[in-house]
Amino acid sequence: MIPANLLKFYIDGAWVDPLGGERIGVENPATEEIVAEVALGSEADADRAIMAARAAFDSYTATPLADRIALVRRVLEVYNSRYEDFAQAMSLEMGAPIEWARGAQAWAGQVHIESTITAAEEMVWEYSRGNTRIIYEGIGVCALITPWNWPMNQIACKVAPALIAGCTMVLKPSEIAPLSGTLFAEICHEAGVPKGVFNMVNGNGPVVGARMSCHPEVDMVSFTGSTRAGTAVAAAAAPTVKRVAQELGGKSANIILPGADLAAAVSGGVEGCFGNTGQSCDAPTRMFVPRAQHDAALEIAAGAAAAVVVGDPRDSATTMGPLVSRMQFDKVQALIEKGIAEGATLVCGGPGRPEGVNRGWFARPTIFGNVTNDMTIAREEIFGPVLAILPYDTVDEAVAMANDTPYGLAAYVQGPEAEARAVGRRLRAGQVSLNYPDWDTFAPFGGYKQSGNGREYAGWGIHDFCEVKALVGYGEA
């Protein structure tokens, strides 16, 4: 699905030509073919969009909450009418298997908009505390910078709560996966989002992203991406003291407790690690297993990996597609080689493409055993289908190793309920999942340490886009 407006930007309620002429190709990572071109914005394009958002803010933020909720409902309705377009676009631009694109990628956008609407209706927007009235109101003009790995998940998690809070915004989707972002701008237009409230400029981080981050008329930056890029965003935003909400990298631990069902726990961990071709910041990429069960865990993990079907994303039988780009492929290959060089046991997979594959950025589902916590594959975010299995002697040791990381986005614990709960409390991560629960889109999502700050999803996301005002001396409501 190639959007008609891929060479334009959406600014002030209209599709407009870029002020510059730079373009880049959009690659299908499964075939290495260029399937479209996208325009890259300049600082001037970013300025134009930001000023449109600034001009629209006062009137939009004054609209009643019920009207803002109704607007997001219309966005959801149009999104649902083009659901298959989104699935096809994400399968094409990032290589997501079509069933995954429908059931996870496109679904994520849908469910986050739904959850945000529900949270908005349940949220207490103002209340009295003594003689003071506490009010939540939109923070202002927001710069929204989103990644390629979960395009609709991250766009919906930012745009929906910003609209609900009464903010105006400029979205910069990833230039690697711009098809779905452009489709989202099209549905905002069709849903009747007022002029200037939602704007979109394609472009790269060092130009458009940097300008959005430092612009004096931007009140908040919401960024999802690498920790390295997040550091640059925070530095650019600092001189104007804007709010910066960031969801960054991760190296999530998955502790298999001695009392866990080993087969179910290990197989579930492999599935979680390899989902989305390992390109998820909260993927459980470090599996900790009792030393006495290590060899059995490797055997179970190898069996689970063997069941992964790597292939054409258009084939409904495919469960793993390619990595998103040559750059990502090269990075993953280098880290697999590093794991071998540093002495980890290669259980399955390894360097190169899967057997019989000679084009596309397909990696082999790879599992390492006998990993120690000082190895590169246990320290660095690989962002590919690579699982490191680390043996431990005591649960205290497992917790200590799990927390011994600069990241803290997510963590996982498998085992008897009481023990899993106790271990979960000790892990330094923003979201800890116990025994592979269903995805909870009302739970706060965000990181400790270098995995970011702020929280997304439902009411937590709305709060991040709000200022808190105290009217002291207000009297009785």
Within the chain, what is the greatest distance between any pair of CA atoms? 75
Please state the φ and ψ torsions of residue 315, each to the nearest 5 degrees: -85, 125
Please state the φ and ψ torsions of residue 235, each to the nearest 5 degrees: -65, -40
User: pLDDT at position 21, please?
Assistant: 85
Pairing of strands 345-348, 366-369: antiparallel
Instruction: Choose, from 114, 247, 381, 456, the residue flagged as catalytic.
Output: 247
% of the chain exceeding 70 in pLDDT: 100
- 77 belongs to the catalytic site: no
Query: What's the whole-number mean pLDDT along residues 160-173?
Result: 98
Residue 472 has pLDDT above 80, yes or no: yes
The conformation of residue 278, written as its DSSP 8-state character, comes to G
Residue 81 has pLDDT above 80, yes or no: yes
pLDDT in tens, 255-296: 999 999 999 999 999 999 999 999 999 999 999 999 999 999
User: pLDDT at position 169, please?
Assistant: 98
Pairing of strands 132-138, 126-129: antiparallel
Rounded-to-integer distance, Cα 218 and Cα 236, Å: 12
pLDDT in tens, 210-247: 999 999 999 999 999 999 999 999 999 999 999 999 99
pLDDT in tens, 311-357: 999 999 999 999 999 999 999 999 999 999 999 999 999 999 999 89
Residue 477 has pLDDT above 90, yes or no: no
The conformation of residue 207, written as its DSSP 8-state character, comes to I
Domains, the chain, ordered by start: 9-248+451-472 (3.40.605.10), 253-446 (3.40.309.10)
Quick one: which of 83, 92, 77, 97 has its CA closest to 31?
92
Q: What is the pTM of this model?
A: 0.96
User: pLDDT at position 20, please?
Assistant: 85
Token representation of residue 173: 């989707």
Residue 1 has pLDDT above 90, yes or no: no
- 281 belongs to the catalytic site: yes
Q: Which pLDDT band holds residue 3 (cuts at 50, 70, 90)?
A: confident
pLDDT in tens, 91-103: 999 999 999 999 9
Q: Which pLDDT band holds residue 401 (cuts at 50, 70, 90)?
A: very high
Neighbouring CB atoms inside 10 A of 394's CB total 11
User: pLDDT at position 138, please?
Assistant: 98
Mean pLDDT score across all residues of the chain: 97
User: pLDDT at position 219, please?
Assistant: 98
User: pLDDT at position 454, please?
Assistant: 95
User: pLDDT at position 337, please?
Assistant: 98
Q: Which pLDDT band holds residue 443 (cuts at 50, 70, 90)?
A: very high
Residue 476 has pLDDT above 90, yes or no: no
Q: How far, in Å, are 161, 336, 367, 467 from residue 346 at the CA level?
A: 44, 9, 6, 51
Quick one: which of 110, 103, 108, 93 has its CA closest to 35?
93
Instruction: Choose, from 167, 188, 273, 281, the residue flagged as catalytic.
Output: 281
Q: Which pLDDT band holds residue 403 (cuts at 50, 70, 90)?
A: very high
